[in-house]
Structure 1
Amino acid sequence: MFERCDLFDRCPRPVLALFLGLFIWGLGALADLLIFHRGVISVPPAFHEVWLHLVTILAVGGFALFFHYRFRKSSDEGLACDLILNSINEAVSLIDPQTFKIIEANRLFLQEVGLEREEVLGQTCYRLTHHRESPCQPPDCPCPVFYTLETGEPAIFEHVHRGPQGEKRYVEVSSIPIKSPSGQIRHIVHIARDLTHRRLAEEEIRRLLEKIQRIMDSVPEGVLLLDEGLLVEVVNPLGKEYLDLLADFDSQGRLRRLAGRPVVELLKGEIQELEIKEPSPRTFTVATRPLQAGGQQKGWVVVVREVTLERQLRDRALAQEKLAAVGQLAAGIAHDFNNLLTSIISFAELLKLDPGIPPETQKRLDLIISQGQRAADLTRQILDYSRRSVLKMAPLELSAFLKDLALFLKRTIPENIELRLEIPPGRYTVAADASKLQQALINLALNARDAMPKGGVITLALSRLKVSPKELTPCEDMAPGEWISISVSDTGEGIPPEILPHIFEPFFTTKERGRGTGLGLAQVEGIIRQHRGCLTVETASGQGTTMTIFLKAIKEIALETKAGGGLVPGRGQEILLVEDEESVLEALKASLEALGYQVTVARDGLEALKIYSKRANEIALVLTDMVMPRMNGLELLENLRRLDPQVRIVLLSGYPLGEDHHFLEGLKKVAWLQKPARIEELSQTIARVLSS
């Protein structure tokens, strides 16, 4: 391979030096096969690479030592030199330090550049490996040969070489100086170790890690990796946010608690729920899985998921189910209960009309009527909560409404409580059922009164709120536009946090037995929801409570004035009374006759239809119950209107009308009353329909 090796002084044992490199390389390769590849010793990949690199340098050192000896030209020695170079499993070339030209190269180097030996010798290393016309220069391409020439020391750099077709090859380049006895660098051994597969694998791993990181960053859960000592090794951004909110660490940085719960309790593998109250109530679930490696546990994966909204939706669904159940119950008992009350109240009122009743008995009758009305109000409260009561909507100017309400409240609250009104100038008009809204505000005011047994201040305040699209609003689903708020504030002790979530539940009360039904706030919420408004609560310990009602404002329109109250007697007109409940039938018949009407009775819709078809000219008005066997009130109404479009009808219902009241409101000469109807209200309604 070499015609003459005159690099170094003559050595008496050149063959021994020649085989020294082969022995070192073979020994290293054998150790690599037996120890590392067969798993006798488990070492990191980086250590394995250092080992191979060390073996390569020692083998090349043996090769360099060979050149230290001067020997005669012989075919055996040339063959030995070929054997040394080609047995090294790296691309090796010998470079002239003056010209950077290659003066010798092994088989792997020739394969790397894709040329024959005769084409390689005499060409510069930078042209063959970098496809450039000048030596590599830092910082873009630091050259190990330059470094070795400047320092006299071996150098190792990573380079990007170009293959025969210009393809990239990642290599680790080593340059080893071969010096004369005087220390002059005569040649440089250039070793290129191909790292392309490793680099591509590393690049693939890097891309995979980036993909995993993107997934980790985008998942809607907090993910963290704990080692066996409960130190956080990996955490995604959401997990970091949750740790800042929930976690407690010890002085060594070990995770000890999440939301006050010991972490060791949460690592049992079951999905567990965590709750926090500050800075705002939030709910989380925690799921954990152990990490196994080699049959041993190496840590845990912890997934933290916020379920606050889900729990709110679940609670809302449960509340709706409860609301539907209570509504069904209320609707079911309302008819029968109101029928009973109709009989009780009607007969009591009829007795009061008798001038011969003694004053003491009059007082007792008043008590019967008032207690009957309380029972009727309780039924209405249940219907209000279940949002099944019927509203009589009309424009309502709230400033005058609140002033009138304040006069009433001053008579019901004790003297040690001051009542204040805060009404800015202007008119505040909403569409509302005045009696229902008044009931809601009275309930709130009485709750405020009860919260201040030692006295204080109740404030009724009006204000305006303009809601813009996408703006944060006090309540969900507030449509853009102008809203009006009515707030009722007190200076009591506030509502305890543990009670606050339950205040709108039906029959929930903190008052003593007999002092409250637990329906007050439930009724308020139901009324406001029926008005398509919303209700908010602000409370703090020792700072009182503010309940705020939000209603949509409407444009100012002229309001109708109602005629004065009182009994309106009849003038002998005949009324067809239709009622299937015997006691209610007798009570209503007696009331109508006391008002001066003639009464014909029918006990269901079919009987009433037969009577009216024969005596339509004599019957001035039909007063009918809504719920009856065979033919109900609405079916009777439709049949009577087909028979006589001018028929006048008043419907009585102990059952909530639901959507039917919209249909009835659009009909002329038709009215309806909710049972139990007072005799005064009954007389006014009949008179109004007769005069229509």
Structure 2
Amino acid sequence: MDEKNWLLAHPSIRVGVGVAFPPFMWTEHENSQWAFKGMVSDYVNLLAQRLGIDMNIVYDIPFNQALDRGKKREIDFFPCLSKTPGRSDFLLFTKPYLSYPLVILTREDAPILGSVSDLKGKRFAVVKHLVVYSKLQNDYPGLELDYIYTKKVEENLDVVSLGQADACIINLAAASYYIQRKGLTNLKVAAPVNWEGVQLSMGVRKDWPVFKAIIDKAMATVSQEEKDRISQRWIRVEMDTGVNIDLIWRWGLGIGTATFVLFSFFFFWNRKLAREIEKTETAQKALKESERHLSTLIGNLPGMAYRCLNDQDWTMLYLSDGCEPLTGYAPSELVLNTSTAYNDLILEEDRPMVWNAVQQAVDNHRPFTVEYRIKDKSGSEKWVWEKGVAIQESDTGNLVLEGFINDISDRRRVENDLRKSESLLRRVFEILPIGLWFADKTGKLIKGNTAGIDIWGAEPHVGPEEYGVFKARRLPSMEEIAPDDWALAHTIRHGITVRDELLEIEAFDGSKKTILNSTAPVLDDDGNLDAAVVVNLDITDRIRAERDARQSEARLNALINAIPDLIWLKDPDGIYLSCNPTFELFFGALESDIIGKTDYDFVDAQLADFFRDHDQKAIEAGQPSANEEWLTFRANGYHGLFETVKIPMHDIDGNLIGVLGVARDITKRHKDQKEKIQLERRLKQSQKMESIGTLAGGIAHDFNNILSSIIGFSEIALKNVDQGSELEDDLMEIHHAGKRAAELVKQILIFARKSGDELGPIKIQPIATEALSLLRSTIPSNISIVETLNSTLTLTGNETQIHQIFMNLCTNASQAMEMDGGTLKVSVTDQIIGPDTPGDHSGLPPGQYVKIEISDTGSGIPENEIESIFEPYFTTKEVGEGTGLGLATVHGIVEQYAGRIWVTSSDAQGTRFTILLPAKPSSQTETPPSNDGIPVGNESILLIDDEAAITKMTSRFLSRLGYRSVQVNRSAEALTLFERQPDQFDLVIMDMTMPGITGDKLAARFLEIKPDLPIILCTGFSKILTKEDAMELGISAYIEKPIDNLALSRT
């Protein structure tokens, strides 16, 4: 493709600049737009016009990034750069079109250098991707420079001026620009760089050789006049804004002081030319041309060139045009002190220092440099830098000073701000409550702040090989840290950041502390390790407080978890935040599943609304709110009464953070309270029953005494009447009525007795008959009784307890039918239980059993109550109609006898109770007493009873049997009689219950007097003395009233 077609195919070229390289090229942001400036920009515009293409500048990226994009062919053209082997890999270079000299810059107070070789071991500021760095690396490997890497050329001058680097290499034009712009007047040209002049070319992407050839041809068409115009335009502009004459002097001193001599020799040369001009017109023209050049040079220098007398006023003989911008005065106002002397501009407190510095330099025949303050014509204070030298005039012999004064206010301001910033950083560094340590790039600790020293108890400046002086363990593993395993060692070796490493350290004073250890690398602009920082945060107190808080929290959690109440916490929106195990149990979910949910996830909407309303009431009230609520839990169907307290929770600032709830299941308490009331009622009922029982016992005693007389006298009368007569029949009716009355009294006494636990061989059938006989007189007439009593087996038991079984079950059955009537069936049969016996007889050993079945045709027992009917005090009857102890008593008796009881019930068939009691056949057959063979005798008997009728009846009966008797109706009288004549009586028959001395006590006195005395004790009812108690007292026999004369005769 020819060049013309190539240009047509590539109308737009991407141009990479990306570096501030004045006066050659730089970019600025003006009026919200980027602008490309400098000599190179004119060449680029010239090429664009002549080739008819667009040069699109790629702005706002650093030069190294521009080069990287050039490698990727994202940038096509670089208009100004030096040729290096690395760049030649991806660029084609045009013929050089610009060049510049290089110099070494140092601080004013730095030692004099002769060449690049004198830089050995020094701190050197350099931009890594520019040609100076590659030149030093390749051609000076033995310099061992400590590189201070920067991003831009101008930063090289900054770090040298601030003392962070010792030197840098820079082209003279750029150095002048930046020194003036930044006021860096403490810099000097230490030496020239004797390298082959650095040549600037244009670079074209390597796959575009056609474009490279086009550029070379186009640049060849640029005339020398065009080049000079471009050069004069930008160099002049730059000098207008800041070429530093001091830099020119320093460079001049470095290479033979050429420029300085030029300036110093100005006036001498001018006078010499004046003398020569008188001789020839050519010399005159040369002089004028020389003056023009020198005037242009001096006029373009920043600041003020001067020539003055060495007097107290610093009387000015010459001032350059820079005088007015610096001082506000025109040169004519200060020359020869026309308006004011220059010394008057110097601040009064600085004048002695300026005078002494200049005079000392004059005396030692050397140049002087001094910085001081002046006030310009407007009264503004400025810092100035002055460089000068004393010169002896050859024609007059006068000593004059020639030099240069420049405004360094901006630089001093920057330096002052920097000092303040550094001072602030030092103070912050020291007062920070966390430990800070700085290490150099080798890992050597170089500085620690107060907090860091306090943590460790020392400030060891050690390197990695000495890290063993630090003792620490990692937590929680308690792994001891090896010297090469410290976080700082890893940061130095690998450039990594380590954050919040938990350590237990042993400080140098022996104390142990817990710290968070962090390290981070400090990198230069190119990502290379420059230093490292270590941060130590002493959290010993915090760890201790956290441990105490955890222990306290653990104790609180243990307490909360052990509480059987439901405990929970919600946020203000009703979302669960926490709960205890009891809450989990009732809600049927783990805490992890409950957190983040609301009541609507666990209970029905109505109950959830109720909970929410209660929460809001507590929040609005701002204090605990309590209530009782019946709850049904979906998880297990439990329904209970809960006492709930809701407490609004606030943070330390008083902001609402949630609602704490505590709920206690008071169902049992509520039930217990109801049962307590019922028990109190039952107690009153029991007390009533006990009173009735006591009354019944007392009545029974009196009845038995009366019945004893009736039965006894009727028996006596029957012996004296003719058999078959009407009188005998009447007496028989009286006798039978007395017997029936005695049986009724006996039934009454069953309720009055406190014990009945004596076990012995009994038959159930007679007890059933007796119970049914008693029941018939108490149940309604609309209830019929059907009995089947076919048992012959004997069991070991207590008649009273068996009687209770029949009475309780039959009474309950009759009450179930009293409204509509029905049939009460009572069955007592014998049954043999074996392995093959049908029915559920689990738990019963094989053998003979007495089977009791009691059924009714009533309404039946609800299914949900059957399991509770044998519980004490369980009853479905109205208050006052039952104690709830009947069935529990029956169940207890059956269990005591090792039997079983079943209940079946339904609405249609009523209720049936079935009882199996193990039979224990008696080894002896009981023989009923016979009426034949009534014993007779002639002994003397003492009869004692407070009822005279009884003693009278008993005496007459005994006398018929041949006995002699003495009747006494008072116990005290009987005791007196027996004490006088104990041997007169062979037997004593006495009543138990008598006024004064009771029968048991009287018997005891008789036995003391006559131990072998037979005593028969009779009682109508006694709660004090049982038959067993009587036997223990030595009483021979115990007879219950009414007295059966036949039984008495055989006793």
Structure 2 residue aligned with 1:576:
942
C-alpha displacement of 1:536: 8.8
- 1:609 partnered with 2:971: no
Structure 1 residue aligned with 2:542:
198
Structure 2 residue aligned with 1:251:
600
C-alpha displacement of 1:85: 2.6
- 1:298 partnered with 2:659: yes
Structure 1 residue aligned with 2:448:
105
One of 528, 531, 534 as aligned partner of 1:187: 531
C-alpha displacement of 1:115: 1.7
CA 1:207/1:328 → structure 2, altered by over 3 Å: closer, same or farther?
A: same
| Partner AA of 1:90 in structure 2 | I
Q: Is the 8 A contact 1:633 1:651 kept in 2?
A: yes
Structure 2 residue aligned with 1:32:
none
One of 675, 680, 683 as aligned partner of 2:1046: 683
CA 1:406/1:578 → structure 2, altered by over 3 Å: closer, same or farther?
A: closer
One of 697, 704, 720 as aligned partner of 1:334: 697
- 1:160 partnered with 2:530: no
CA 1:361/1:324 → structure 2, altered by over 3 Å: closer, same or farther?
A: same
SS of 2:535's equivalent in the other structure is: strand
Aligned mates of 1:525, 1:370 — CA distance in 2: 29
Aligned mates of 1:216, 1:446 — CA distance in 2: 53
Q: Deviations over 1:359-411 (max 9, x none)?
A: 5885676456425522431232232xxx245x6x4643x7xx46887899999
Structure 1 residue aligned with 2:747:
377
CA 1:605/1:243 → structure 2, altered by over 3 Å: closer, same or farther?
A: farther
Structure 2 residue aligned with 1:37:
none
CA 1:446/1:610 → structure 2, altered by over 3 Å: closer, same or farther?
A: same
CA 1:668/1:191 → structure 2, altered by over 3 Å: closer, same or farther?
A: closer
Aligned mates of 1:261, 1:81 — CA distance in 2: 59
CA 1:272/1:575 → structure 2, altered by over 3 Å: closer, same or farther?
A: farther
Map 1:586-625; keep pairs closer than 5 Å: 600-613=966-979, 619-625=985-991
C-alpha displacement of 1:84: 4.6
CA 1:407/1:217 → structure 2, altered by over 3 Å: closer, same or farther?
A: same
Structure 2 residue aligned with 1:224:
567
C-alpha displacement of 1:637: 0.4
- Normalised to the residue count of structure 1, the TM-score between the two structures is 0.62
Structure 2 residue aligned with 1:633:
999
C-alpha displacement of 1:197: 2.0
Aligned mates of 1:463, 1:168 — CA distance in 2: 86
Aligned mates of 1:524, 1:592 — CA distance in 2: 49
CA 1:321/1:639 → structure 2, altered by over 3 Å: closer, same or farther?
A: farther
Q: Is the 8 A contact 2:440 2:446 kept in 1?
A: yes
| Partner AA of 1:373 in structure 2 | E
Structure 2 residue aligned with 1:439:
803
- 1:651 partnered with 2:1000: no
SS of 2:601's equivalent in the other structure is: coil
| Partner AA of 2:482 in structure 1 | E
C-alpha displacement of 1:119: 5.3
SS of 2:600's equivalent in the other structure is: coil
Aligned mates of 2:512, 2:706 — CA distance in 1: 101
Query: Identity rate of aligned residues, in percent?
Result: 13
C-alpha displacement of 1:633: 0.5
Map 1:226-305; keep pairs closer than 5 Å: 226-227=569-570, 234-237=578-581, 240-241=584-585, 250-253=599-602, 269=626, 286=643, 288=645, 290=647, 293=650, 294=654, 298-304=659-665
C-alpha displacement of 1:160: 0.9
SS of 1:672's equivalent in the other structure is: strand
CA 1:250/1:292 → structure 2, altered by over 3 Å: closer, same or farther?
A: closer
Map 1:300-319; keep pairs closer than 5 Å: 300-304=661-665
Aligned mates of 2:953, 2:712 — CA distance in 1: 10
Deviating more after overlay: 656-665 vs 594-603: 594-603
Deviating more after overlay: 331-340 vs 561-570: 561-570
Map 1:329-368; keep pairs closer than 5 Å: 330-331=693-694, 333-344=696-707, 346-347=709-710, 350-351=713-714, 354=718, 356-357=726-727, 366=736
Structure 2 residue aligned with 1:26:
none
Structure 1: tracts of 5 or more residues without a match: 18-69, 138-142, 465-473, 475-483
| Partner AA of 2:929 in structure 1 | G
Q: Is the 8 A contact 2:942 2:967 kept in 1?
A: yes
Q: Is the 8 A contact 2:519 2:533 kept in 1?
A: yes
Q: Is the 8 A contact 1:440 1:523 kept in 2?
A: no
Aligned mates of 1:550, 1:149 — CA distance in 2: 95
Aligned mates of 1:538, 1:650 — CA distance in 2: 46
Aligned mates of 2:553, 2:585 — CA distance in 1: 22
C-alpha displacement of 1:181: 2.2
Structure 2 residue aligned with 1:170:
514
CA 1:416/1:674 → structure 2, altered by over 3 Å: closer, same or farther?
A: closer
What is the CA RMSD across the aligned residues, in angstroms? 6.2
SS of 2:697's equivalent in the other structure is: helix
Deviating more after overlay: 315-324 vs 601-610: 315-324
| Partner AA of 2:426 in structure 1 | D
SS of 2:429's equivalent in the other structure is: helix
C-alpha displacement of 1:521: 6.9
Aligned mates of 2:876, 2:712 — CA distance in 1: 34
Q: Deviations over 1:62-120 (max 9, x none)?
A: xxxxxxxx999x988875653353243322223456x5443443332222222235457
C-alpha displacement of 1:162: 0.9
Aligned mates of 1:405, 1:616 — CA distance in 2: 44
Aligned mates of 1:568, 1:462 — CA distance in 2: 40
What is the aligned residue count? Answer: 578
CA 1:344/1:102 → structure 2, altered by over 3 Å: closer, same or farther?
A: same
CA 1:642/1:87 → structure 2, altered by over 3 Å: closer, same or farther?
A: closer
Q: Deviations over 1:414-471 (max 9, x none)?
A: 8978789899xxxx974x44x334424443664586579567896878999xxxxxxx
Deviating more after overlay: 195-204 vs 452-461: 452-461
Deviating more after overlay: 124-133 vs 569-578: 124-133
One of 132, 135, 138 as aligned partner of 2:481: 132
Aligned mates of 1:564, 1:106 — CA distance in 2: 119
